A and B are shown apart, each in its own frame.
Chain A
Amino acid sequence: MKLEIKNFSKTYSNGVAAAKNINLTIHKGMFGLLGQNGAGKSTLMRTIATLQDADSGSIFFNDIDILKNPSALRKVLGYLPQEFGVYPNVSAQELLLHIADMRGIIKQSERKNQVDALLQRVNLYEVRKKNLDSYSGGMKQRFGIAQALLANPELIIVDEPTAGLDPMERNRFYNLLAELGENAVVILSTHIVEDVSTLCNDMAIIGKGEVLLTGKPSEIEISLSGKVWEKKINISEFESYKTKYKVISNRFHLGKMMVTVVANNLPDSAFYQKQPSLEDAYFNLLYTQE
């Protein structure tokens, strides 16, 4: 079970090249896709999800040519888009039953069983008969998750799935995804680096329509081993540090600015070495790309 993307390119009519010769091979399990806004993640996701044509290249899921035979992929696809709406006058149960029907679960009893099970899993069972327009943002997101998991899809694409979820729900959702990832290819597109590092077996970082890096999160983290340094500085010193060092990120800690620098050697004695994280690798990559 694998998804294979070869030489995928897409340029929009306004001239923006959203994907430039992307090549990726994604196997069963959780695959993280990291990238800034406008990096091309959603373009890639939409194309895999059959919502968009490619200018060139090919995308295969197992032996399904997605670009030429999108209807075949749709039979095994579960997709949670970054933004979606719901019908205002329909209940969650009703809409899920409808989607289950569309996904090919032909037996009514099976549809009902799976919808009920999913409603339980996303904790909407108690409110399943309420109209969707009365749902809060988090509830709608959970509804979206439920619909993406209907009919046990082999390829699950989730684009920023945890938006609107509280931390508890978010953790639970990731546990669910991880469980599903045992039997399916799950592509998780997110800004949250930590999520990828904790959840995904494999990942890719995309920037400006190109795959900047692929690999296992742990390997990517290790690639910076011994090269990441941190130091508390005054805000007024920040500009000079940027000029002097390769500052890949900065953050505040207890009211002081912490800068993270990548260097082969200790930049100065006040720096202390940091255990590299995936986030550092990601920021380093973005820095390099800029």
Chain B
Amino acid sequence: MIGKILFYEIRQRFFHWSTLLYYLMLVFQGIWYTKGNFDYYINEDLFINSPSVFYKNLASGGMLMIIIVAIVTGTALYKDIQHKTGHWLYTLPIHEKHFYLARFLSAFLFNVLLATGYIVGMVLVPYSGIGEAHQFGPLPLGQLIHGFIFLTVPNLFLLTSLFFFSLVFSKKMAVAYLSILATVIAFLLMQTTSEASGITNFLALGDPFGFVATEEMNLSFTSLERNTAYIPLDGNFRANRLIWFSIAAVLLILSVLKFTFKDFGSPKKSIKKIDSKPQNKIGFVHHKLTQQALSFTSFDYVKKLWSLAVLEFKNVVRPASFKVIIGVILMMAILQNLIWNASYYIGATAPLTSTMTYFRLSFGVFIIILIMAWSGELFFKDKTVKIHSITDTLPVPVWVTQLSRFCAMSAVAFVLALSFMVIGIVIQIVKGGAGLIELDLYIYDTLGYNWGWLTYVLWIALVFFISGITGNRFLTHVLSIGLFFAMIMAFELGLAEQTRFAFAAVPGLEDYSEVSGYGIWKTAAQWYFLMWTLLATVFILLGILFWNRGVSKKWYNKLSIHNNQLSWLGKIITVLALAGFFLLQSFIANQTIGKENFTLSTIKEKNNADYEKKYSYLKKIQQPKIINLDATFDLFPLQRKAIFSSEILSINTTSATIDTVYLNRKQAVTIHNIKFNGGIISEVLEDTHHDVLAYKIPKGLHAGDTLKISIKAEKQYIGLSQGGGEPQTDLTYNSSFGSIFDFIPSIGYDDDKELVQNRKREEQGLPKINSRMPVINDDLACTQNYFDSNALAVSGTITISTVAGQIPLAPGSLISEKEENGRITRRYTITPSSSFNWHIASARYLVRSSVVDGIDVTILSSPKHQFNIDLYLKAITDGIQYVNNNLGMYPYKEVRLSEINYYSDRFYAYPNSISISEKEGWYADTAALKDKAYVYHSTVSQIIKHWMQEQGIVANVQGAEMLVNAIPETLALQVVERKLGKQAHTLILKKKADFYAKEKNNEPNQEPALLYADGIEYLETAKGVIGLHMLKEKLGNIKFTRITKEWLDSSKHQPFIFKNYYMTVLKSISKPTRNEINYFFEEINKQE
């Protein structure tokens, strides 16, 4: 009997439409979670499809799988109550315990069957496009099956048993759903606690899904093992599995003992059937029906629309299932904002509004899918419950009934979005951030079109449209959710790049900066939203036009222009809205692509490759070197405009005559006037495609001759931006920050345009490169400055003005400041000559000033971010004192530390200036030592970089960033150890080791040996610092510092080359330990 029931149940479910949908969702989750777990995994040479990643996927189960399990299991037993089949089924000659077991097994086995979709997704990962070929290893099928058997299957057994147990004992679906919810929350708590405070036996055993125990095993694996090993059935992992399997078995046994047809089939109190005939009454009592006034005016219909919407809203929110799902989502929002939030670059974050609203992005996919599913259900509600044969005959136009549902669903979405906002505010208050509440940002993010409520409304409109076209509930779900997934995948995989093709999306929705806000994307977003609103209007109107009233119609009947479900006015509006949509598409295309604010990556790569093919000969052509720059910049941030003039003084340092000067004009720059030594020369080349200009110098520029290039120009970004990749950060509304070369033309070959990823190079027909920087034996490069190959140390003055309220920043000492005509002007001087990595900025700042050892220290930060100013000041103070006491004098009398937006690099150290990204500590929660140490160390490092940069020019060859970044960071470790203690020092090194281990997996080419590091962050600032720290440990702090200083002093006559430094230090190392050092610096240690 068990077999018969089991077979029947499985067969019934198997051929149901939802099975395919669930299966596909799990396949998608398999790919998606693999990418997610791989991205966050710190491992050496980890394959994307490594067993470690798969084990982690399987242990976490995934939100989709848990929801699907709840849905599938929910109906397995309860359907007999729900559909009243129990009334006759329970009278059949079936052994009730057998019946129960069969139903249990059918649900469990079906869950297992569906879960194979998750496995299929993982198997398909290498073909999904989420990584490059070299990131995948052989399919670990054995480990996948092993993990499935020991993680997925027992977890499904637990969830199914728990669900059945709760249902049998309570006879309430809500209780069963809550039991699943409680289990999931327990899992999440164990997982997050273990991540925050380390894995303990309690956490490893208490986690119902075995995730913590799995992670414990993974962490004990070597890199090789992570790519190959099976998790052994041992220790906490084995104990966890046994405990939770036993609990599941006990729950099952108890529920089997409890279940009887009589008990389970008896009505619950809550839905007790009503006595059909109240006492002393009989049917159809005579009661006079009076005549009523009927009215069918348009105004009445609008009123009906409202009353209907209210009714439909109530219908959606009343069922227990809705409340449970909402409860789960809101619980997730609370947990995310309270516990998990904002593990950005450095760790914990202050309770800022932007971190609270981030929930809408991290859970956005689930939320939108749910809203679409609910919408589909609501639009087809009359057909589902079969009341449409009554309601379709009512004298109410389709637009009233269907639009009321659209409004009701929009209201449901509003309540959901508003809940996120309320939760965020409450949690901000709980975390002591009441003063950080930004109501306008909450409204914009959670209620607006930035993946908030209005975005939900747009998706509801799409479902509305699809409902109208298909007239089929299932097809509506498949098409709408399928379209959503397809869109996400297309953008995730880079198949689509333009936001104008991503329905309901607006540019920059994931790119909020605490200092720049949504910046340039905010205006663009308004246009995009207007465009999507027009399309949504079309969707809604066509949804009304096509909605099938009564018996299903043939599709071509729906298309009839005489279809009167939509008035002629409505039809005209539809056409106008559609025309408006296409006009806006065209307008946006023009504003983004047409105005060169956006370029497809393939086109950009081709352009760069073409530039290299056409101009790489310039690499070997000598150009004059910049030695002085006097410039004036008038910034107009609100117009994203700068008017500037510059006098670039350069010198021919070669023995040959230079007859032609090549200049690279930057995007959006218009050069009004250019003079060479005061005279105007016609260009011999103007390549507008690559923005290359060439000028022939009359009589040439002989050895030692100087050339003054005077330029009057302006830069202005016009139009809109398409995506988050091009923030145009040098001229934005607030917190503009850009290199000097974002404005003035650079001289010679622009190697920034070179493609450095070999795969891309091959695609563009370029030869592969072995190094992203010139090699050490490149004689020409050895004479060039790392910061700019056509500059020496540069002196100069910069006069910079900006709008009142913002402070203009430039390198050098501040000479003067004045405010007039609503503008602030500052003048800076850079003397003596300094490294030419100059940047200018303009932002609203709160200024904190201090004096350290006679040096003026100014910290300029966002007025909102005053959390760690004391820590920054302490780091600068300690850094300056360290330099003064150990390295020589700190080179400047004045230093400014400024906060910049995160679109730029993380750290900049240039004359008298340090700029640190907002996400590198300005709003970090530095209560924990690791976070405090990180902020402190990174700031001290910048101070030491100042000293380092003033020691001389660094050669533009491999290893340059070891000198520019790694040595200062290594020296800064001494300060950390002295001031914050050994543990802080250890934590920083661990962070760097983790960073290296994680990031080296994303190396697109071949990882070079450290000695030949070619300017990639995970090498110099991570492995490089660790390597130099090893050297320091071998030599001792004092000796290491002394050798470093002596080498810099002795090598000043020519550009510094790291290899020379390394060889010098190596000589001081005793021979027995040299091998270890050699291996670390000169070998590529893929597996450790």
Q: Which residues of A line the B interface, CB within 8 A?
A: 13, 46, 49-53, 71, 74-75, 77, 79-81, 83-90, 94, 98-99, 101-107, 110-111, 113-114, 117-118, 120-123, 126-127, 130-131, 133-136, 138-139, 142, 144, 147-149, 151-152, 165-166, 168-169, 172-173, 175-176
Contacts and interface: CB of A to CB of B under 8 A. Distances in A.
Interface string B357-380: 000000000000000000000000
A81 B281 CA distance: 26
Interface stretch (B284-292, B646-654, B758-766): B284-292
Contacts of B315: 87, 89-90
Main secondary structure of the interface of B (DSSP, over half): loop
Interface stretch (B163-171, B255-263, B268-276): B268-276
29 contacts: A50-B392, A50-B550, A51-B393, A53-B557, A74-B393, A75-B395, A77-B395, A79-B389, A86-B387, A90-B314, A101-B308, A102-B304, A102-B391, A104-B300, A106-B295, A117-B287, A117-B290, A120-B287, A121-B284, A121-B286, A123-B278, A123-B283, A127-B274, A134-B274, A138-B276, A149-B289, A169-B282, A169-B284, A173-B284
A209 B1061 CA distance: 101
B284 A52 contact: no
Q: Which of A46, A77, A83, A85 has the most chain B CB atoms inside 10 A of its CB? A: A85
B552 to A, nearest CB: 9
Interface string B541-559: 0000000011101100100
Contacts of A138: 276
Contacts of B308: 98, 101-102
B283 A142 contact: yes
Given A71-B395, A105-B292, 18 more contacts: A75-B296, A75-B395, A84-B387, A84-B389, A84-B390, A90-B314, A98-B307, A98-B308, A101-B304, A102-B396, A104-B300, A104-B395, A106-B303, A123-B285, A147-B390, A172-B283, A172-B284, A175-B284
Nearest to A142: B283
Interface in B574-592: none
B174 to A, nearest CB: 13
Contacts of A133: 271
B292 A107 contact: yes
A216 B395 CA distance: 32
A83 to B, nearest CB: 6
A151 B283 contact: no
A87 B396 contact: no
A130 B275 CA distance: 11
B295 A104 contact: yes
Contacts of B689: none
Contacts of B553: 53
A67 to B, nearest CB: 12
B281 A123 contact: yes
B387 A87 contact: yes
B381 interface: yes
A134 B273 contact: yes
A91 to B, nearest CB: 11
A124 to B, nearest CB: 9
A281 to B, nearest CB: 29
A77 B397 CA distance: 14
Contacts of B384: 85
Given A84-B389, A85-B385, A107-B292, A102 B395 contact: yes
Q: How large is the interface on B (under 10, 10 to 19, 20 to 34, 35 or more residues)?
A: 35 or more
B1 interface: no
A90 B312 CA distance: 10
Contacts of A77: 393, 395
B16 interface: no
B287 A71 contact: no
Contacts of A75: 294, 296, 395
B566 to A, nearest CB: 12
Contacts of A99: 390-391, 394
Given A75-B395, A102-B395, A152 B284 contact: no
Contacts of B395: 71, 74-75, 77, 102-104
A-B residue pairs, 8 tightest by C-beta: A51-B550, A172-B284, A85-B386, A104-B294, A74-B395, A81-B389, A169-B283, A85-B385
B293 interface: yes
A95 to B, nearest CB: 9
A86 B550 contact: no
Interface string B311-324: 10011001100000
Contact of B292 (A52, A79, A85, A114): A114
A81 to B, nearest CB: 4
Contacts of A142: 283-284
Contacts of A79: 389-390, 393
Contacts of B551: 46, 51-52
Contacts of A81: 389-390
A86 to B, nearest CB: 6
B794 to A, nearest CB: 75
Contacts of B294: 75, 103-106, 151
B278 A126 contact: yes
Contact of A87 (B293, B385, B392, B550): B385
A136 B276 contact: yes
Nearest to A176: B284
Contacts of A144: 390
B385 A86 contact: yes
Contacts of B307: 98, 101
B394 A120 contact: no
Contact of A71 (B385, B389, B397, B554): B397
B620 interface: no
A130 B371 CA distance: 29
A83 B386 CA distance: 8
B277 interface: yes
Contact of A83 (B278, B293, B389): B389
A106 B293 CA distance: 8
Nearest to B396: A102
B274 A110 contact: no
Contact of A139 (B274, B314, B386, B549): B274
A84 B384 CA distance: 10
A80 to B, nearest CB: 8
B441 to A, nearest CB: 37
A81 B550 CA distance: 12
Q: Which of B285, B304, B319, B401 has the most chain A CB atoms inside 10 A of its CB? A: B285
A151 B401 CA distance: 19
A110 B291 CA distance: 9
Contacts of B282: 123, 168-169, 172
B284 A122 contact: yes
Contacts of B276: 135-136, 138-139
A168 B730 CA distance: 86
Q: Which of A50, A86, A102, A135 has the most chain B CB atoms inside 10 A of its CB? A: A102
A194 B1043 CA distance: 116
Contacts of B391: 99, 102
Contacts of A80: 390
B1053 to A, nearest CB: 86
B288 to A, nearest CB: 7
Contacts of B389: 46, 49, 51, 79, 81, 83-84
Q: Which of B278, B393, B397 has the most chain A CB atoms inside 10 A of its CB? A: B393
B274 A136 contact: yes
A36 B907 CA distance: 86
B283 A168 contact: yes
A109 B137 CA distance: 74
B283 A114 contact: no
Contacts of A134: 271-274
A134 B268 CA distance: 11
A139 B276 CA distance: 6
A165 B289 contact: no
B386 A107 contact: no
Contacts of A110: 290, 292-293
A165 B294 CA distance: 31
Contacts of B319: 88-89
A79 B274 CA distance: 26
